[in-house]
Chains A and B, each alone.
Chain A
Amino acid sequence: MTNYHERDRHCEPGACGGAILVVDDRPEKLVSLQVALSPLGHEIVVVGSGQEALRSLLHRDFAVVLLDVNMPGMGGFETARLIRQRRRNQHTPLIFVTSYGDDVHAIEAYSLGAVDFLSAPVVPAVLRSKVTVFLELHQRDAQVREHAERLMRQTRRLQSLARASLEIHAAQSIEQTLQIVADSVREILGSQQAGVIVTADRNGPAQHELVISPGGRVSALTGSQRGIDLPDFVAQLARCPHPTADELACAHLGPFWPGDRAATSRGLAAPLIARGGYTMGVLLASGRREGEYTPDEEALFQQMAQMAASSVENTLFAEDRESNRIKDEFLATLSHELRTPLSSILGWAQLLKADMLDADEIREALDIIERNGQMQCKLIDDLLDVSRIVTGKMQLNMRPLSLTAVVQAAIKVILPSAQAKQVSIETSFDEQVDRISGDSDRLQQVLWNLLSNAVKFTPAGGRIEVSLEAAESHARIIVRDHGEGIKPEFLPHVFDRFRQADSSICRKHGGLGIGLAIVRHVVELHGGSVRAESEGPGRGTTIAVTLPLPVEPFGTASDASGASPAAKISGLRSKAVPWVDVQDEVLQ
C-alpha cells in the first residue's frame, strides 16, 4: 500500500492547523473515510498498517488519528499501545473505528487512551463533527503554546533588563555604566553590535564617550578633533529610530563603528534624554541578521536608553557631590593644619611675654616657635605648589644633575625625624643611571615627600629602603617601607589631590594629603611616571618613580663607578652597590 497524501487546494501547509492520520488495512475504507473528511479542508494522511502509522508519527505530529481496530498483523489496539508509548504522542487524540460495536471493545479502547470510538457504519457527518472537535483543540493548543513561548521570551527579556538594571546601578563609573548598557542590549536583543554615545558636558570642553559592544571604550572623542559634528550626529540619530546598516556605519563614526554589514534588518537608535529634557547621547543597535525587531523589543530598547540616561546623570551627580565633599574635607583639614602650629607659636610667645618661663623653658619655647614656623612655611609652600599645578604654572629649572646626590640630599633632611623614631634607612645606588637632566630642587622635594611619608607611616624601630636602579631606558627610584600600607580601595586614588585615606576626624597623622599630588605632577613634568604598590594595611608600601634617561650618554668622562665608556655603550648593566646603611655614609 502506498501512502497517499491529499492536500486541499485552499489550505496552506500548517495554516489550517493539524493533519489527520487515517489507519486502515482496507483501501476502500481509507477512500471512504477520506471522502468523508475532505470537506473539513485539513490535510489527510492515509496509511495501510500499524507499522506505517508509527512511521508517519515519527516524522510529524497529527491533530487526530483514526485507527481501525481490526487489522492483520499489528491490530488497532496494539498500534494504539505503541503510539502511547512515545512521550510525544501520549496525548495525541486516537479515535477507533471498527465494525464491531460491543462494549468490551469500547472499554478496552478507552483504557488505551482513546478519546472516542466509532463503530461502523460510520456516519460521515458524525465523523466530521467528532474529528472537528479535536482539530479545533489542536489549533487552540498550538495557539496557547505559541502565546506561552512569546510570554517566556518576554519574561526572559525582562529578567535580563532587571539584571542589567542592577548591574548598571552597581557601576562605578560612567564608562562602566555605558559598557554594561551596550553589552546588555546585545545580549537581550541579539544584535551583532551595540553602542552608546554620551556627550558629557563637564566643566571644560564637551567630551564625547563612545562605548561599543563588543569592543569597549573608544578613546574619548572630541568632535572638532575628528572632524565630526557629534552633537549633530547624535541629534540626527535620535530623530531616526530605525537607521539602516549604512547609516549606522556612516563616516561619522568611521572606524569606531564598523557596523554589521551582514545585517538584513534595520538598526535601532534611541536618544538618551537628560532630566532637563535635552539629548545627552544616543543608544545604538545594529540590525539583526534574522528578522526585524519586534515592537516589544523596540520598547525594551527605549527603556534601556532611559535607564542609561538616568544612570549616567546620577553618576555625574554623585561624582560632583563626591568631589565637593572631598574639597570640603580638604578645607577643614587645611584649617586645622594651619591653625595648630599658629596656636603653638602665639601661645608660647604669649608665655614668653608674660615672663613666666625659666631659662630652660625659654629655650624650649623658642625651639617650638621656630619649628612650628618652619612647618607653617612648608605648608604654605605646598599650597602654593598645588595652586601652581592647578593653574598650570609650575616651571622646572632643568639642569644636568646626579640622581644619587638628589636622593642623598633628601635623606639628609629626613634623617633627624627618622632617627627620632629609630627608623633606619638603607640605600642602594646603581651609578649607571645617575646622570639625568632635571630640576634638582623639585626632585629633591619629590624624594623628601616620599621619604617623609615612609617615615611617618613606619612604626618606631622600623626600616625604609631607598634604591636607585636601571629599568630599560629609564632610571627608577624606589622608596619602600614596611609600615601601614595602603588599602586596596584607596590605591588608585593615592596620587589624587586633596585625598587622604582617612577622613579628617579619624586620621592618625597630620598633613594635607597634597604631597603625593605634587610628587606626581613634578615627576610627570619630567616626562616620568610614579607608581604605588601595597599589599594592604600593615603590609608596607612601595613607591617607584621612573624617569627617562637622556638618549645620549651624558655627563663627564670620569665616572664614579669607574666603568669604561665601552662597557656603558654596549649596554652592560653594572652591579648595583650592595645595601648600605646610610647613617654610616652620612656620618663620614
Chain B
Amino acid sequence: MTNNERDATNACEIAGPAANPGGSGTKTAPAAWRILVVEDVPSQQKLLVKVLSKSGHSVATAESGQEAIELVEAELFDIVLMDVQMPGMSGLDAIRAIRMRELNTGTHVAIIAVTAHVLSGDAEQCYDAGADAYLPKPINLVDLMAVLKMAAESHPRRDTESS
C-alpha cells in the first residue's frame, strides 16, 4: 500500500458514514452514536469533538468527573470517552460512580478510559474501575474509531421506560 493509499484508507476509517454515505470500499458503516467526551484539556477536547462530529456522531462534552456523572444520569449515551487524569475527581472515580448508579438503573453505558500512564497495571486499574476499553495517549484516531465501534457494539444502548 502506498502512503497515499494508506492515508486515504485512514481518512475513510476516521471519517465514517458522514464522509462515505455510499459505503464503498469501507467497512460496515456504523450508526450515528450519542457520545460523551469527558476531557479537561481544551485542545484535546476540541480534537475529539471535531473527529467524532465529523464522523457523524452527536457529541456532548464534560470538563470534570462530577459533570460527567450528572450528564450520564440525565441522558442516555452510547459511549463515554473518559480522560483518566483530570483535576478534582479523577476519571477512574467517575467511572466507579457511574457503575454504582447503574446498579440501580440496570443500564450499562460503554465507557472507554483514555490515559497517559504507561506504568504496568494501568490498564487493569481502568478495567477494575469499570471501563469497557482503554486507549492510551497520544490517541491514534484510527484506533479510536475501532475501539468506539467495538465498545458500542458490545454494549448497545438500551432504552428504559423511565427516561
Give chain A's interface residues, CB within 8 Å of chain B: 332, 335-336, 338-340, 342-348, 350-351, 353-357, 361, 364, 368, 371-372, 504-509
Return chain A residues, CB-CB under 8 Å to B88: 506, 508
Complexed CA–CA distance, A37 and B85 (Å):
97
Return chain B residues, CB-CB under 8 Å to A509: 87
Nearest CB in chain A to that of B85: its residue? A336
Return chain A residues, CB-CB under 8 Å to B116: 335-336, 338-340, 343
A343 engages B10 (CB within 8 Å)? no
A368 engages B14 (CB within 8 Å)? no
B11 engages A372 (CB within 8 Å)? no
Interface flags for B102-128 (1: CB within 8 Å of A; 0: not) read 000000000000001111000000000
Complexed CA–CA distance, A506 and B118 (Å):
19
A356 engages B117 (CB within 8 Å)? no
Q: Which residues of chain B in 133-147 are interfacial with respect to chain A, using CB atoms and an 8 Å cutoff?
A: 137-142
The verdict on A508 contacting B87 (CB below 8 Å), with A339-B138, A347-B139 known, is yes
Looking at chain A's contact residues, the main secondary structure is helix
Return chain B residues, CB-CB under 8 Å to A371: 43
Complexed CA–CA distance, A350 and B54 (Å):
13
B144, chain A: closest CB distance, angstroms: 9
The verdict on A347 contacting B90 (CB below 8 Å), with A335-B116, A339-B116 known, is no
A329, chain B: closest CB distance, angstroms: 12
A344 engages B14 (CB within 8 Å)? no
Complexed CA–CA distance, A299 and B17 (Å):
85
Complexed CA–CA distance, A343 and B86 (Å):
15
Q: Judge whether B7 is part of the interface by a CB distance below 8 angstroms.
A: yes
A344 engages B118 (CB within 8 Å)? no
B37, chain A: closest CB distance, angstroms: 12
Max count, chain B CB within 10 A of own CB: residue among A344, A348, A509: A344
Q: Judge whether B44 is part of the interface by a CB distance below 8 angstroms.
A: yes
Nearest CB in chain B to that of A340: its residue? B41
Return chain B residues, CB-CB under 8 Å to A340: 41, 44, 116, 137
A343 engages B14 (CB within 8 Å)? no
Interface flags for B70-99 (1: CB within 8 Å of A; 0: not) read 000000000000000111101000000000
Complexed CA–CA distance, A159 and B64 (Å):
53
Point out the residue from B10, B86, B137 that lies within 8 Å of A353, measured CB to CB.
B10
A505 engages B43 (CB within 8 Å)? no
Complexed CA–CA distance, A345 and B139 (Å):
10
Q: Which residues of chain B in 1-20 are interfacial with respect to chain A, using CB atoms and an 8 Å cutoff?
A: 7, 10-11, 14-15, 19
Nearest CB in chain A to that of B83: its residue? A340
Return chain B residues, CB-CB under 8 Å to A355: 11
Max count, chain B CB within 10 A of own CB: residue among A343, A355, A368: A343
Point out the residue from A346, A353, A361, A368 that lies within 8 Å of B7, measured CB to CB.
A353
Q: Judge whether B51 is part of the interface by a CB distance below 8 angstroms.
A: yes
Return chain A residues, CB-CB under 8 Å to B85: 336, 504-505
